[in-house]
Amino acid sequence: MRFACAAVAALMTCTALPALAETPNRAQLAASVKGSHDANLKRLQDWIANPTIAAEKTNVDGGAEYMRKRLLDAGFQQARVVKTDGVPGVFATLDAGAPTTLGIYFMYDVKQYDPKEWSSPPLEGRLVDRAEGKAIVGRGAVNQKGPETAFLAALHAFKDTGRKLPVNIVLVAEGEEEIASPHFRQIVSDPEAAAALKKTIGVIIPGAGQESNGATSIDLGAKGVIEVQLISSGEHWGRGPAKDVHSSLKANLDSPAWRLVKALNTLVAEDGQTPAIDGWFDNVKPLTARQKELIAAGVKNSSETDIMKQLGIKHWYKDEDFLTASYRLASQPTVNIEGLVSGYTGPGGKTVLPGRAEAKMDFRLVPDMTREEAEAKLKAHLAKRGFGDIVVNVSGGYSPTETDENSVLVKSQIASLKKAKVDYSLNPRLAGSWPGVTFTGPPLKRPAVGFGLGTGGGAHAPDEWYLIDSKNPKVAGLDESAMFYVDYLYELAEAAKR
């Protein structure tokens, strides 16, 4: 999942809300969660040890089946694998006979990893001591298996105590989020899944975004994304070598690698930052006054120093102040180079003229841009400048997503955070991405937000971690996160009646 830091958020003032729902016989459920701590931790460790990596086609069928079994084990009456043209997904339902139904989005895939870069094996799920407390380290720990395990731990508590949930659950899970969800819509469009999702009051993706002061956020929106591979080659260009040749021949041969560099240079302005693709900003909607208000309040209540330290940076773009940089983070579309590959990259030198060069890129999109528009404009831009021979492979992507803060889904979440005495924020738009538009867009048009307690870090990076036992009473560990979801389900059930 593509999330950014929680700085772009707003600490909300206390507003008048209806009486908060009470969790009946809460002590029984809490005792069950506490008593199942080791079992839930083991479930998370086993899940980390079972990675699905869509980009490498690793464990795509086994991961889906594992996800299906985990859902059945947590109390879903039915869960089945949904085939797609790519990696399969999972659709599951838990019918509690309740009048309200909640949608849940899971991903079961993870990013690639290089064990040499990790301080402990990335699939071991080792418990380590951190300043925050006891944490589990492993690929997928915080993105997203830790938060998802916390939600499933809440369901296990209901199952183990023989209690019915106060709401019904419809869950859809995919194994391609980390390659921009190219086939997720096929899962949601499955006739049975589509019919079930239409009955939901909205959809949540479990999160773990608490800061060191305990504050968390409700993520109302997220940028869209397309993931792209640009390839320059002598074969497609018709100039330069079709394969690597001796570099001395550069004197009288064209270079596919330099051609790619020249093409890439047209995609951004001289600052190397501002997108320069023709028409890229045509449909960009400026931040509203309300969104700016939320961002400004969030900046006021966040630590710029802590965030810069976490990111390992000393300056924002153009040395902008924190508020301006935060506005930019939420409002600007981006053109990013993930990686460049061409020729020889091993030790020492190797005098070759490469016949092929490749750029891995992602393009973040803001309302009212669309995935289809972005792809078309990128291709047209390159062709107009004579780079029509460069292959443009769009491997996945989706448009931005937004949810109204006045929806029942969000109001129930605000009520739950108030009840838990957790400082909360409304984050207008994540700088990262998730396919929430699949729910907020047609035909479903349901609110969809990121939400939850807990914390972690290192998503997509070495030593990814998720907090299990917290030293800070303001920050939730695994058990506290699970109980928060228990309480939330009761709050949602009550809010839907009002």
The predicted-structure confidence for 144-163, as pLDDT tens digits, reads as follows: 999 999 999 999 999 999 99
Residue 307 lies in a domain: no
Residues 372 and 459 in one domain: no
Q: Name the domain boundary from 360, 381, 398.
A: 398
Using the predicted structure, report yes or no on whether residue 135 has a pLDDT greater than 90.
Answer: yes
User: What does the mean pLDDT of the chain come to?
Assistant: 94
Give the pair of three-digit tokens for residue 352: 């070759």
User: Which residues, in sequence order, are CB contacts of 249 under 8 Å at separation 6+?
Assistant: 241, 353
**According to the model, what pLDDT value does residue 13 have?**
34
Same domain, residue pair 103 and 182: yes
Are 472 and 408 members of one domain? yes
What digits encode the pLDDT tens for the residues 312-330? 899 999 999 999 999 999 9
**pLDDT number for residue 16:** 37
User: Structural domain of residue 408, as residue ranges?
Assistant: 26-222+401-495
Residue 76, domain member (yes or no): yes
Which tokens hold the place of 490?
């009761």
pLDDT of 15 higher than 80: no
The predicted-structure confidence for 471-482, as pLDDT tens digits, reads as follows: 999 999 999 999
Residue 11, domain member (yes or no): no
pTM of the full structure: 0.92
Lowest mean pLDDT among 11-15, 112-116, 198-202, 473-477: 11-15
Q: Indicate whether 416 and 464 sit together in one domain.
A: yes
Is 17 a domain residue? no
Judged against a pLDDT cut of 50, whether residue 189 lies above it is answered with yes
In a domain, 48, yes or no: yes
If asked whether residues 201 and 231 sit together in one domain, one would say no
| Mean pLDDT (whole number) for 176-188 | 97
> Of 376, 398, 420, at which residue does a domain stop?
398
Q: Give the CATH number of the domain where residue 237 resides.
A: 3.30.70.360
- The pLDDT score that the predictor gives to residue 10 is 37
Q: What is the pLDDT of residue 310?
A: 77
For the chain, the domain total comes to 2
Within this chain, do residues 262 and 123 fall inside the same structural domain, yes or no?
Answer: no
Domain containing residue 102: CATH number: 3.40.630.10
Q: What percent of the chain has pLDDT over 90?
A: 90
- pLDDT over 70 for what percent of the chain? 96
Same domain, 168 and 249: no
The pLDDT of 407-423, averaged and rounded, is 95
Verify that 43 and 120 share a domain, yes or no: yes
> How confident is the model over 65-94, as a mean pLDDT?
98
Q: Residues 291, 425: contact at Cβ < 8 Å?
A: no
Look at residue 6 and tell me whether its pLDDT is greater than 80. no
Task: Read off the pLDDT of each residue in 39-67 and give the average, rounded to a whole number.
Answer: 97
237 with 254, same domain: the answer is yes
Residue 355 near residue 240 (C-beta atoms within 8 A): yes
pLDDT for the residue 5:
43
The 10s digit of each residue's pLDDT in 259-313 is 999 999 999 999 999 999 999 999 999 999 999 999 998 787 778 998 898 788 9
| Whether residue 373 sits in one domain with residue 244 | yes
For residue 19, is pLDDT > 60?
no
Structure token pair of residue 446:
């349901």
Regarding whether 109 and 211 lie in a shared domain, the answer is yes
18: confidence class by pLDDT, cuts 50, 70, 90: very low
User: Do 276 and 181 share a domain, yes or no?
Assistant: no
Domain assignment of residue 344, yes or no: yes
Does residue 178 sit within a domain? Answer: yes
Residue 164 lies inside a defined structural domain of this protein: yes
Q: Which of 398, 422, 450 is the last residue of a domain?
A: 398
Query: Does 4 score more than 50 pLDDT?
Result: no
Q: What is the mean pLDDT of residues 207-235?
A: 94
